[in-house]
Amino acid sequence: MSLYQTQKLLYQLNKDVQMQASFLADHEAIMNNFKLTQEEHDALVNKDIGLLYILGVNGQILMHFAAMCGLAWPEYIQAMRDALAIHGNVRTGLYVTTDGKGAV
């Protein structure tokens, strides 16, 4: 797993408007610069916020990507909850859920 590379891509993307436009136009050109597993690659291409959460992407990085993908806040929270039901708990990192029973 190359969580570091996945997070680095998202970190750069979140703060670079030009890179965001490039990513939306031709995501492969961006992703070729990062060493990603197929699962990570596909999660990014599919904008699978829930799976990215399960892979361990820090919430403060993922939150911005979710917004960039057009998810409203409740949709973003729900995507993570749905992914927990499908994939089980977060595989690594600080953002593992405790009970999934927040208020939104």
Partner 1 sequence: MSLVFAGVCSHAPGITGRAHMADPDDKETLYSAFDDMREALEASKPDALIVIAAEHFANFFMNNMPAYCIGAADEYEGPIEDPKWLGIERRLIPGNPELSKRIIAKVMKDVDVAYAEEWKFDHGISVPLHFLTPEYELDIIPVNINCQGPPLSPLHRAWAFGQALRKACDEVPERIAIVATGGISHWPATPDSGKINEAWDKEFLQRWCAGDKDALLSYTDEETWQDAGQGGFEIRAFIAISGATIGSQAKVHYYRPIPIFAVGCTTGWVDL
Question: Contact residues for partner 1 (CB under 8 A)?
Answer: 4, 7-8, 11, 14-15, 53, 58-64, 67-68, 73, 77, 80-81, 84, 94-95, 97-104
Query: How far is residue 82 CA from its own chain's centroid?
Result: 14
- The minimum distance between CB 79 and partner 1, in angstroms, equals 9
Contact 53, 26 (CB under 8 A): no
| CB 93, min distance to partner 1, A | 9
Nearer Cβ to partner 1, position 25 or 103? 103
Which CB, 20 or 37, lies closer to partner 1? 20
- 56 phi-psi bin (left φ>0, alpha ψ -120 to 50, beta other): left
Q: DSSP letter at 98?
A: S
